[in-house]
C-alpha cells in the first residue's frame, strides 16, 4: 500500500528545552522519543514510503499569523514560530535529512494552506502514518483531515506528545475511532 510517514512540529520552539513555547508544555522531546522518530524516518525510507516533516511557522512580519487565535495570537509577542529563525528549525536531534519533503503550515492542520494534499495525491498515497506534537492538536487535526479525505490513518503513539499524559491518552482514545494506533516498534509490520 502506498504510504507516507508524516512527522509534525518537531521544531525547536515547541520541542526543545530552549524553545520559546516549550517551557512548561510537556512536549520537550527526550532522547528516547527522538531516537524513535529517527528510526521511524529511516524505516519509512527503507520501505519506500514518502517521508514528510511538517512545521508550523509564520512569514516575516507575522503577516499570516491569526492574531485573534487563542493558540497562535501571542506568537509575535513571544518572537516564536517565525519562519527562517532558529525556533522553526527542526529539533537538532531529528534527522530532517531523511525527509523527502518539508511542509510549512500556517495553522494547526497540515492540510490547511499547504501543498501536502498535492504531494500525497502525486504519489498516489493511500495510507498516512503520523507522529508529532501535540497529540491533542496537530496530530488530531491531520488525522481527522486525512480520514475525511479517505486516507487510511495510522497514529504512532510513542512518537507523539502532549502537554500532559492525560491529554495524550484522551487524544489517543478519540483517535482510535478514526485511526489505527500503533507503537513505533509495530511500524515494521505495516
Sequence-ordered strand ranges (E) for the chain: 3-8, 50-56, 101-105, 127-132, 152-156, 180-182
What is the chain's mean pLDDT, rounded? 95
Rounded mean pLDDT of 108-128?
98
> What pTM did the predictor assign?
0.96
Structural domains in the chain, sorted by start: 3-189 (3.40.50.850)
Strands across the sheet with 50-56, in order? 101-105, 50-56, 3-8, 127-132, 152-156, 180-182
The secondary structure element, H or E, covering residue 167 is: helix 165-175
CA distance linking residue 83 with residue 50, whole number of Å: 24
Q: Are 63 and 113 in contact (CB under 8 A)?
A: no
Q: Are 34 and 87 in contact (CB under 8 A)?
A: no
Residues pairing with 11 in the sheet: 90
List Cα–Cα distances, 178 to 18, 67, 135, in angstroms. Answer: 35, 31, 14
The pLDDT of residue 160 is: 95
Cβ count near 78 (within 10 Å) = 12
Output the nine-digit C-alpha cell for 8: 509534525
What is the pLDDT confidence band of residue 78, given thresholds at 50, 70 and 90? very high
Rounded mean pLDDT of 138-155?
98
Rounded mean pLDDT of 13-25?
87
Amino acid at each position: 500500500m502506498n504510504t507516507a510517514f508524516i512527522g509534525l512540529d518537531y521544531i525547536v520552539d515547541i520541542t526543545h528545552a530552549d524553545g520559546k513555547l516549550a517551557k512548561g508544555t510537556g512536549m520537550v522531546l527526550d532522547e528516547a522519543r527522538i531516537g524513535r522518530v529517527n528510526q521511524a524516518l529511516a524505516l519509512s525510507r527503507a520501505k519506500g514510503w514518502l517521508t514528510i516533516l511538517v512545521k508550523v511557522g509564520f512569514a516575516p512580519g507575522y503577516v499570516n499569523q491569526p492574531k485573534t487565535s487563542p493558540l497562535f495570537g501571542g506568537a509575535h509577542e513571544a518572537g516564536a514560530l517565525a519562519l527562517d529563525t532558529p525556533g522553526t528549525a527542526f529539533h537538532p536531534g531529528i534527522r530532517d535529512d531523511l525527509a523527502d519533503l518539508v511542509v510549512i503550515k500556517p495553522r494547526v492542520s497540515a492540510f490547511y494552506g499547504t501543498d501536502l494534499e498535492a504531494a500525497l495525491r502525486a504519489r498516489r498515497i493511500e495510507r498516512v502514518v503520523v507522529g508529532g506534537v501535540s497529540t491533542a492538536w496537530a496530530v488530531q487535526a491531520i488525522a481527522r483531515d486525512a480520514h475525511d479525505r479517505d486516507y487510511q490513518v495510522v497514529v504512532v503513539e510513542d512518537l507523539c506528545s502532549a502537554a500532559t499524559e492525560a491529554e495524550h491518552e484522551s487524544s489517543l482514545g478519540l483517535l482510535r475511532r478514526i485511526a489505527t494506533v500503533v507503537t513505533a516498534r509495530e511500524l515494521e509490520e505495516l
